Structure 1
Amino acid sequence: MMIKTVSQYLGFILGIIYGLVFRLISDVEYLDGYYNVYSITFIWIIPTLIGLFPIMFSSSKLYLSPLKLVLYPIITICLFLITTLVTGLEDFFCLLIIGIPFFIAAGVVGILLGAYMKDKINNKRIYSIFLLPLILNPAENLIPNKSEEFKVEHSIIINKNRADIFPNLLEVQTINEKQYGNGFFQIIGIPQPINSKMYNDGENSYRIGYFTDNFKLYESIDQSIENEFVSFQIHLDKSHLRNQPTDIHLVKSDYFKFGKISYKLIEVDTNKTKVILSCDYLLNSKMNFYANFWAEKIISDFEKRLLKSIKINIES
């Protein structure tokens, strides 16, 4: 009875193990650049193959139903993602990024490949398909990434003059949770700003932006025109990042690079100023269109909430 039960769910187990092996390989330091989490192979090919396991390795009755041909690959992907979360290999934000293409790939497997693959199970050569990532990922790295610059910009009207506002952009007053709000990205673990302070080391002035989870950004002033404009350059090598998958695989990676964060002040009236906050960043990958979808959403959410909080603090 136990053997029969194991046989029935063997595909799920093998699929999870298969995915974990390649996920762990991506963390091997000397393989960095050959096998990585945010490659086309890992994002699309690995979930496709994970989804094949319950079709090819479980009992034949498991995939007699067309519904199961779609459902079981998706269940296997879901179990794999939960396992990476529980083991600390991924956090909620990483799961959000890879989860969407993973589930799409799994669904496609069931709809398009399920019926075809089950008829090929007796052909032992078909199992060599699970070695594809060992070939495709190194081959993928022969194709150079595409580097693109992006900008996200938002503005707000603050009922104060520029002279009153400008110092509060250099040193942002403490922002409480009620001011900033608790949205979707905050729920899944994106740090929210607390305040920022200016310092001087005797030679240069710099700013540290303090965030929740002990996340700190070191910023140097790139350009400043009093009461009109100021821009900051972020230095990740001097910043204090979290030891979490999001920071390790994204913030510290070569795929995403912060450019400048700048504020521009435009006088609307004597005691009314338009404050424009913009963030420049660089994406360097083979999937910039997908990466920018998330980068734009997160930075846009951050800018809107930060500007609203600054307005509340300055006007109150």
Structure 2
Amino acid sequence: MKIKNVSQYAGFVLGILYGIAFRLLSDMDHLSGLYDLFSITFIWIIPTLIGLFPILFSSNKLYLSPLKLFLYPIISVFLFLITTYLTGLEDVFCLFIMGIPCFIAAGVLGILLGAFLKDKIVNKKIYSIFLLPLILSPVENIFPNKSQVFKETHSVIIHKSASAIFPNLLEVQPINTIVYGNGFFQTVGIPTPINSKIFSKDSLLYRIGYFTDDLKLYESVEELKENHFVSFQVHLDKSELRDKPTDLHIMKSDYFKFGKISYELIPINNTTTKVVLSCEYTINSKMNFYANFWAKNIIADFEKRLLKSIKNNLEA
């Protein structure tokens, strides 16, 4: 009886090991191109298969319960994601990026395919479905990623003249953490800005943006029209990034690239100015719609909080 009770949960363990195996393949330099972490296969197909393990390897008639067909695949994927976090393969933010499509794929397809596959369990060939990623991922990588440029823009009204504001855009003064606030993205590990310092080198202007978690972004001043406009170009290759999965998988990869970050000052009157902050970025993947969902919201959150903080510094 005890053996039977244990064996019905063996599918969860097998699902975790299966997912971890493909996750480790994506980190191998000579195989990462074939088994892409941000591929349709890894984000949608592999979670579906992880979710099927407790169905196919259950010792009881799990497929007779629609609730279990829905919940068991989700639990299996959840355990896999928690394991990647505990082993340091992923951080909290990566779990959210991966988790949403993983849970959708596992839950929905657990119901749609679970009963069908269980009925076919007498045919041992059905287990070959777990080899699908070995075929689909290399095939998927034959097709190039789609590269798209996006732009996020927000503004704030500051009751100061453009000449009083402009130096504080070049070199952002220490930010009040209470004013900046602590929202969802900060809770899941997105670093918050501290301040920025500008310096000159070889007759060119550069800036270093300091963030929490010892993140330092190196920027060059690309265009400057005093009291009217300034733009920066982020150089991630010269920046000091964090040794965390988010930075390693996204900021150090070709999936996401910063474009120009710019401030435009539009005088309303002698003592009031509209400050417009824009950030251009490029996403290069096969799921740009999903990647941009996160990028757009993170950058929007950052711009709104930063502008509010700069306004507070100047008007306080």
CA distance in 2, matches of 1:136, 1:214: 39
Q: Which structure 2 residues correspond to residues 56-205 of structure 1 after superposition, within 5 A?
A: 56-205=56-205
Query: Which stretches of structure 1, 4 residues or longer, exceed 4 Å deviation after superposition?
Result: none
Deviation at 1:2, TM superposition (A): 4.4
The equivalences for 1:1-316 within 5 A come to: 1-316=1-316
Query: Which has the larger displacement, 155-164 or 102-111?
Result: 102-111
TM-score (norm 1): 0.98
CA positional deviation for 1:3 = 2.6
Unmatched 5+ residue regions in structure 2?
Answer: none
2:97 aligns to what SS in structure 1?
helix
CA distance in 2: counterparts of 1:108 and 1:194, whole angstroms: 43
Output the CA distance in 1 between the equivalents of 2:67 and 2:221: 58
**Separation of aligned partners in 2, 1:103 and 1:297:** 21
Q: Give the % identical residues.
A: 70
Q: CA–CA distance in 2 between the matches of 1:215 and 1:162?
A: 30
1:200: how far off? 2.0
The code of the aligned residue for 1:81 comes to: L
Report the alpha carbon displacement of residue 199 of structure 1 after superposing the two structures with TM.
Answer: 1.4
C-alpha deviations, 1:228-280, integer Å up to 9, x for none?
00000000010000010100111111011000100000000110000000000
Instruction: Give the secondary-structure state (helix, strand or coil) at the position aligned to 2:210.
Output: strand
Separation of aligned partners in 2, 1:35 and 1:6: 33
CA distance in 2, matches of 1:129, 1:258: 39
Task: For residue 205 of structure 1, report the CA deviation from its aligned partner.
Answer: 1.9
Matches of 1:202 and 1:117, distance apart in 2: 67
Aligned residues: 316
Q: Which amino acid aligns with 2:285?
A: S
Distance 2:261 2:97 in 1: 24
Measured on the aligned residues, the alpha-carbon RMSD in Å equals 0.9
Are the aligned partners of 2:48 and 2:110 in contact in 1 as well (CA < 8 Å)?
Answer: no
| Cα deviation code 1:34-61 (max 9, x no counterpart) | 1121100000000010011001011123
* Equivalent residue letter for 2:223: Q
Tell me the secondary structure at the aligned position of residue 125 of structure 2.
helix
The Cα of 1:122 is off from its aligned counterpart by 1.1
Equivalent-residue separation in structure 1 for 2:135 and 2:298 (angstroms): 34
- The DSSP-based 3-state class of the residue aligned with 1:31 is coil
**2:204–2:221 Cα contact (<8 Å) kept:** no
What does the per-residue CA deviation read over 1:51-106, in whole Å, with 9 as the maximum and x for residues that have no partner?
11001011123333111111111110111111111111111111111101000001
Paired with 1:170 and 1:259, the residues of 2 have a C-alpha distance of: 17
Q: Provide structure 1 residue ranges, at least 5 long, that are not aligned to the other structure.
A: none
Partner AA of 1:25 in structure 2: L
Secondary structure in 2 matching 1:279: strand
Rounded to whole Å, the distance in 2 between the matches of 1:36 and 1:142 is 12
Quick one: distance in 2 between partners of 1:211 and 1:282? 22
In 1, distance between residues paired with 2:251 and 2:293? Answer: 16
- In structure 1, give the amino acid aligned to 2:67: L
